[in-house]
């Protein structure tokens, strides 16, 4: 719906990213494209978090609407994943960052509705930032009119469709496919679908068309991993719970899911493992010293008592 330019703010002496609405999408004052751009700016303005792209200004120049935001020197999370081999721990750690950005949005009543790896930017500083809130929804905004037309074709599965169902079909929850009401548990579904794909390099639901895909999602028919054991059973079960067709069966919140992922991250972190082994080694050494002292005491005490008795007798 738009194009993003790198720009320079001469007054504040900083580089920015400026998103402009494509002229063809702005045929009237309240066109669909303009509404989406304004929605993104308003959503971003409500969230202040290191893992969310920061907005600086929204305005217009002549007939051109623009949003000036943080310029991230980096790549989409999808490109980061493909750039080189990534360990399971690295993937989970990066998605944890993105998840914290989503949780921050949820805390102010913002639902992203289109979370996927392409909508997360990984900076050269190693920090993930959730972006592209163009489909974001404010929970307190009341009912929303949506167009129920469905995209068709294989390419549409992995692409956000303007004016169609809200989201990217490959990652959408069942309620999104039905154009039903959504809450943060729908973002949780999107998040788990994206993380599942990042870990197993296969999308959780198959389908050559959007309708086939929607049927698989509604039935909860998750594709099995290409190789068993690619992720610990606990991590796999956590993702499957987030991909439940019934929102009530998912994690009570994305924050609750992140707690489970953080436990895995801590368990698989080399530094934490070294600390754990060091503590265990110290504990073993301490127990050994105590045990040795007890044995030494048992051997020495009788001898000392015997010497004492001999001295007393003499």
| Matching residue, tokens 């996927």 | 116
Helix (H, G, I), strand (E, B) or coil at 198: helix
Element (H, E) at 291: helix 270-313
Q: List own/partner pairs for 305-310 with CB under 8 A and 24 or more apart.
A: none
- The token duo for 64 is 């051109």
Residue ranges in 46-162 assigned as alpha helix (H)? 77-83, 88-107
114 is catalytic: yes
Of the candidates 73, 114, 187, 211, the residue annotated as catalytic is 114
3-state secondary structure of 162: coil
Q: How would DSSP label each residue in 45-71?
A: HT---TTBPPEEEEEEETTEEEEEEEP
Q: List, by residue number, the catalytic residues.
A: 114
């Amino acid at each position: 719906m738009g194009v993003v330019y790198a720009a320079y703010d001469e007054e504040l002496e900083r580089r920015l990213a400026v998103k402009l609405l494509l002229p063809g999408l702005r045929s009237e004052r309240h066109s669909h494209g303009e509404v989406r751009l304004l929605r993104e700016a308003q959503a971003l303005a409500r969230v202040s978090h290191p893992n969310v792209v920061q907005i600086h200004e929204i305005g217009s120049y002549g007939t051109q609407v623009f949003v000036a935001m943080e310029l991230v020197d980096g790549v989409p999370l999808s490109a980061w994943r493909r750039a080189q081999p990534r360990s399971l721990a690295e993937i989970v750690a990066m998605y944890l960052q993105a998840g914290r950005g989503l949780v921050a949005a949820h805390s102010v009543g913002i639902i992203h509705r289109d979370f996927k790896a392409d909508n997360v930017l990984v900076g050269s500083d190693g920090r993930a930032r959730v972006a592209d809130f163009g489909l974001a929804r404010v929970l307190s905004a009341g009912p929303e009119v949506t167009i129920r037309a469905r995209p068709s074709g294989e390419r549409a599965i992995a692409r956000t469709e303007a004016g169609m169902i809200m989201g990217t079909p490959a990652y959408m929850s069942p309620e999104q496919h039905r154009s039903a009401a959504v809450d943060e548990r729908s973002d949780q579904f999107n998040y788990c679908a994206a993380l599942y794909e990042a870990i197993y390099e296969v999308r959780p639901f198959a389908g050559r068309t959007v309708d086939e895909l929607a049927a698989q999602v509604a039935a909860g028919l998750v594709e099995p991993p290409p190789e068993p054991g690619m992720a610990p059973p606990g991590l796999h079960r956590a993702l499957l719970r987030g991909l439940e067709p019934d929102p009530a069966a998912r994690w009570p919140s994305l924050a609750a899911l992140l707690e489970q992922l953080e436990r895995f991250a801590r368990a698989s972190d080399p530094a934490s493992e070294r600390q754990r082994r060091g503590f265990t080694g110290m504990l073993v050494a301490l127990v050994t010293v105590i045990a040795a002292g007890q044995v030494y005491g048992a051997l020495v005490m009788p001898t000392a008592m015997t010497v004492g008795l001999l001295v007393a007798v003499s």
